[in-house]
Chains A and B, each alone.
Chain A
Amino acid sequence: MTINIILIDDEPLAQDELASLLERYDDFRIVARCEDVFSALRKIREHKPDAIFLDIIMPGQDGFTLLDYMAPEEHHPHVVVVTGGESDLAVRAYAEGVLDYLPKPIEEDRFDKAIARIRSQVSNPDVEALPYPDRMLEMIPCIFNSRIKFIKPEEIQYVRSDSRGIYVICADKEYYTELTLAALETKTALYRCHRQNLINLAWIDELIPLENGLAEIKTKSGDKVPVSRHYLKLLKKRLGM
């Protein structure tokens, strides 16, 4: 049985080092390498790896936030934290529900133990990855001009999902984010109004009924957001109508 791994570390040589250590195990296969939290989110969705090796101190966001950005029903790989940071990160790592913690530079004995742990977890189909923390997000990380831009959920009018990805729309601009609609729905107060849209209730100006039990929301800055039949009922109930 092959165990699929993603390496997440902003230092290329640190990735190489992990790759070298993993070479000794025939059943482990590296399916992707990432240098930041956002590409990691994408790759995890794409490859659904069994486990990830996660650096903590990385650009923009520390590794732990990766766990925050995943929706509960998304695929959750087992997490092994690898860090050169202070040892108090270990305490936090276990509190976040990770499988193991490896300080850099990595001792082979400890690495072997981490491998054994991953094997035993993966080979037992009843065991799922430990639950990730369930916290509301105070900031939504977006990508804008190759930089990370943080948007407060209350500034978002609505969220749109299309073939290019997920966009959060604010009063003046829209931003691309790697977070899924499901993650945004469960980790913010944004409300589902369509299979492809979330709405910020505080930004609703008008709810306009259309034919066939459909509706449309006009936001306070005049944008229009579709409401599907299924979510209209729930939305009306939520709005006390």
Chain B
Amino acid sequence: MTVPVTYGFDGTATSNVVAVATTTTWGTSTNVTFPTSTSTNSSSRLVSWRPGGPVWSGYDGVYWDPIPVREELDEVRRWFYAGDEAAARAEPLPPDPEVERRRQERVAVRALARDRARQTLLSLLPPTERDRYEAGEGFTVRGSAGGEYHVRGGHYVRNVTRTGGGRRVRLCAHPRMLVDGGELPTEDALIAQLLMLRFDEPGFLAIANAEEM
């Protein structure tokens, strides 16, 4: 199903965008993908929800932001039933101040969580790898069984590459990201990958999905 909608990109965006949504239903949950474009950005936003359950939204299916059910469902409804694309282009729906206030609160809480996680991650890296990570280059880990791995920062999916000893292999293993009703910061996921490789490399390889590069 394709539905023209309009919505504010998120609480931090400087402009509203117009999008066309497609929906898919998996079991009892519904995913809505919003391909979006602005003058400075082109990406997609995925919102999924399960009746009575948590609502998730994210970008490119990688960065997820858990959002309390009620207000996001209201927002999804506003997007979904906006209907007229031409009208939507002309006059974006006004933001709900209360929703916006709560969104900004969540953004602030998540920023604090990310900062804590980042500080912990940096404390576990040797100085050279700390500098590389701060420069946006990820970091290298020596596994407990002797393997060498490069871990990219920024996200936690398919971000580990076995670099030593012959062919390069991309690996994907990460912690369960939804914890006590909130999402683990990405840097915490990197810590989990770092520690498991460093102290239980065989365990990591046993669960990771592998893909030759």
Q: Do A and B come from one complex?
A: no
Residues of A within 8 A of B (CB): none
Residues of B within 8 A of A (CB): none
